[in-house]
Structure 1
Amino acid sequence: MPSEPRSLRKWIRVACLSVHAPLSLLAVLALLASGPVACASRPPSDALAATRDALAGLDEFGALLLGAGLPVEAIPQGRSVSPVQAERLRRYFAILPYLPQHYAPRCVADELLRYVERHGQGLSRWDLSRMVQEYRSLFLLRQDGFLAAALTGEPAQCVGPVAVRDDGAGAGEFEMGEFYTRGDGESWRRADRPSLDKL
């Protein structure tokens, strides 16, 4: 019987040396040891790189289209928008389902795209982004009864349930398709459409 007790470390070493692992297991362990130690050591995936790059280069007009529910990959690239592109985007919007917050930006986008079609030639993204700014203080009535910011679709105030009328649809004194602005205090008044030809 040994006179002094063996330490735990010594017992572990003896146990490891007495086990004879097969050569194939040692080869597998060597292979695993040569690779990355953990998943965290791998570089992040670039699966969303195209989306990230597209969003980084977004101008006012592109942000409007995105707010209107257009997928990032469908936003036109380039420095101008042609009448053909405008027509294609309007058709895309016609079949694309949307959420209530997309309604107001989609109305503004449709108005700008119709202007490009009528203009008959390409319009620069810079000009379109300037035109977008003309809608910054305007609101539209959504189908859910909220007056919403024209550019973002952000609800500002619920004015009541929307009902179908002889001349369209609306809630109380508000009509769908008309622009409104907030006057002094909390009062609302109808606003003129921006005159895009003067810009």
Structure 2
Amino acid sequence: MENYHQKSKWSRFCVMTTTIILIVVVVIAFMPLYNIAERNNIAISIVCGIALIEMIVMGLYYCPVSIIVTQNQLLIRRFFTSKNIPLNEIASVEIYSESTRFLKVCGSGGMFGFYGWYKNKELGRFFIYATNLKELICITLISGKKYMISCEDARNLYNEINHRLSNIQNNEKDNSR
């Protein structure tokens, strides 16, 4: 069985948020270099430069690039690493169409996507890897841990994951006989 692959398409909100924040931080970081009255405040440039590098590295570390479903794993590909979720640890998969009024506990709310710990009334606490809040899938593990992920086409990803899960369950039944 071939691997199933979908890209994580950025929403306009993520593109605008990332662009605006990066521009503001870069301008603040270099302002003392161009303003003679602020030249003595080079510490501001250094702090903003370090913050800029940290935001970019952290954003690229967590930002989802694509979702891959293999025969036995769900891979959330990110720029530097992948988050691997074994399919046999998944209890349920649902297309999430409830409220996206999420409370951010710790993470990003739009810069390089949405990632980190969030919570809401319907789901409780969950970890999100998303670049578009209109195409979300909720994955609940047997342990109770929840992940929200986004991709270009949530319906097709949902169908593919469920198809692979049913294959695993059928194989387990055949092996138990």
TM class by shorter chain equals: under 0.3
Determine which structure has more spread, i.e. the larger CA radius of gyration.
1
Return the structure number with greater relative CO, CA threshold 8 A, min gap 6: 2
Structure holding more strand per residue: 2
User: TM-score, length-normalised on structure 2?
Assistant: 0.25
